[in-house]
Structure formats: structure tokens, C-alpha cells
Amino acid sequence: MIQANWLAHTQIDTCGFSDTIDKIVENKEPIDLFPKSTRGFKSNQYNFKENDFIILNDIINSIKNQLHNIDYLKGKKIEPSLGWTVYGEHHGYHEVHNHLNRGLPYDISTVLYLKTPSITGYTNKGQFYYFLLDNNEIKYHELEPVEGMLVIMPTRTLHGSYPQPRGLRQTLNFDFQVSDEN
């Protein structure tokens, strides 16, 4: 079983990713945000269906390559189980949540920032925040989102994002099922 108390982040090249996602969602209706963590008047979330995963295969493989660099995931079989994208605009944010209700406790969740607003003069730029247990104490952490940042964490990690002051923030999110390599 993968340890649950960690988070990793890295940068990846996302050139062309947004165009691919935009084409997939152009004729879709956004989902109802009420039961989700996504909030904001102009925020939209689109879930991917199984046939979308075929179109997203190159993007998924880019993410999986990064996952295999993590010690806990080396030699593991990693397959996407859920995927979605979020377009967040002015005041868009995510309530604190985890993805434990979606999968097994040893699955992995990822957040890839495809677009982030260029914001100067603000101390809060819509930071990604998360909580980890450290010496039996829950510690709060923040990351400033930038385009190409890939956040990797166990599904049980509590996380969210602050409202952004303005501009578009687009994320690509996947939950991956992890099992021993066959």
C-alpha cells in the first residue's frame, strides 16, 4: 500500500494540452457543481467519458511518466479511473476536499495547471493548499499555481484552492488507480 502522507509537484510541458481539452468539451454541457468542490459564479467543470480517454492518451502518458518517477509508484501499474477539467474565472475556487470517495485509499490524484492568470500586485493568487500530518500534527501548506505545474498526491490528501483575483485558471485533473505490476 502507498503511504498516504505526502505530496509531490513538478513541471511538465503542456503545449497543446489546452487545445485538446477545449475540443473535447466544446459540445459538452458543464456538470452541476453543487455536489463538487468547484465553486465560483463563472466556474465550469467537465467530466471526461471513456472515449475521451482515447483522445487524451498522449496527455495521460505524459502524466504517468511523471508518476513513475515517484518512489512509491515505481514498478506499479497506473491507470486513469476518472478525469475532468475545470475552467475557473474571477473568484473561482475549490473547497477543501479529497478524492477518497472516488477510489481506493491507495489511488493517486493529480492536478495539472494548464492556464493560470498573470497576476501582479496580489498576495493571494489563488494558491493551491493542502494538509499533511507531521509528527501527529496537521500542517497547512501552499503552492502558487503556474502553468505546467503537476501536483501529485494520494486520493485522501485534503486540498483546495483560494479564490483567484481575476483571469482564467484551467486545470486538468485525473484520479489514477494504482496496483502491483503484472
User: At 66, which CATH number?
Assistant: 2.60.120.620
Domain assignment present for residue 2? The answer is no
**115 grid coordinates:** 492556464
pLDDT recorded at residue 80: 94
Domain assignment present for residue 20? The answer is yes
Domain encompassing residue 77:
8-180
Between CA 50 and CA 15 the distance in angstroms is 23
Domain assignment present for residue 27? The answer is yes
Domain assignment present for residue 1? The answer is no
Between CA 97 and CA 130 the distance in angstroms is 9
Domain assignment present for residue 3? The answer is no
pLDDT along the chain (182 residues), means of 10: 76 96 95 86 92 97 95 90 93 89 72 86 77 91 94 93 87 93 62
Domain assignment present for residue 145? The answer is yes
pLDDT recorded at residue 1: 43
How many CB atoms neighbour CB 149 within 10 A?
Answer: 20
Domain assignment present for residue 77? The answer is yes
Number of domains in the chain: 1
Domain assignment present for residue 47? The answer is yes
Start-end of H helices in the chain: 17-25, 50-55, 57-67
